Amino acid sequence: MSPKTDKIDEFSKELELKIERGVIGWVNNDQWFNWLRNTAARWVLAVLTLAVLYGFGLFAWINEGVYGYLYPVTIFVVVVLQKLSVRFVFDDDSVIDEYQHERRNRAYRRAYKRIGLAVSLVVVLLLARSADLRHISFSAQSAFWPLPNGTFSAQFSVEQLVIGLEFLIGLFALQKYLSWGMRGERN
Amino acid sequence: MSRKPRQEEERVANRIELLRTQAGLSRQELADQVGVHYQTIGYLERGEYSPSLVLALKIAAALGATVDEVFSLDKGE
* Residue B37 included in any domain: yes
A186 contacts in chain B (CB < 8 Å): 39, 42
Q: Average pLDDT of A42-47? A: 96
Query: Taking the mean position of all CA atoms in its chain, how far away is CA A12?
Result: 29
Supply the mean pLDDT for chain A. 85
Whether B64 has a pLDDT exceeding 60, the answer reads yes
* Residue B50 included in any domain: yes
* Residue B76 included in any domain: no
Closest CA to B40 of A25, B49, A150, B32: B49
Alpha-carbon distance of A60 to A49, in angstroms, equals: 15
* Residue B1 included in any domain: no
Counting every residue written for chain A, the total comes to 187
Nearest chain B residue to A34 by CA: give it: B39
Whether B9 has a pLDDT exceeding 70, the answer reads no
Prediction ipTM score? 0.81
Say if residues A44 and A147 touch (Cβ distance below 8 Å): no
Q: What is the pLDDT of residue B67?
A: 94
Say if residues A35 and A179 touch (Cβ distance below 8 Å): no
Reported as a pLDDT band with limits 50, 70 and 90, residue B2 is low
pTM exceeding the 0.80 threshold for the entire prediction:
no
Alpha-carbon distance of B39 to B27, in angstroms, equals: 8
Nearest chain A residue to B37 by CA: give it: A97
- For B14, the 3-state DSSP assignment is strand
Alpha-carbon distance of A70 to A68, in angstroms, equals: 6
* Residue B77 included in any domain: no
* Residue B74 included in any domain: no
Q: Average pLDDT of A1-6? A: 72
Please tell me the distance in Å from A146's CA to the nearest CA on chain B: 42
- The domain that holds B11 is classified in CATH as 1.10.260.40
* Residue B57 included in any domain: yes
Query: Which residue in A97, A102, A187 is closest to B37 by CB distance?
Result: A97
Domain region containing B21? 7-69
Instruction: Give the count of domains, chain B.
Output: 1
Whether A9 has a pLDDT exceeding 90, the answer reads no
Q: What is the pLDDT of residue B69?
A: 92
Nearest chain B residue to A89 by CA: give it: B37
Q: Average pLDDT of B18-33? A: 93
Query: Which residue in B36, B39, B42 is closest to A98 by CB distance?
Result: B36
* Residue B52 included in any domain: yes
User: Do B42 and A187 make contact, defined as CB atoms within 8 angstroms?
Assistant: yes
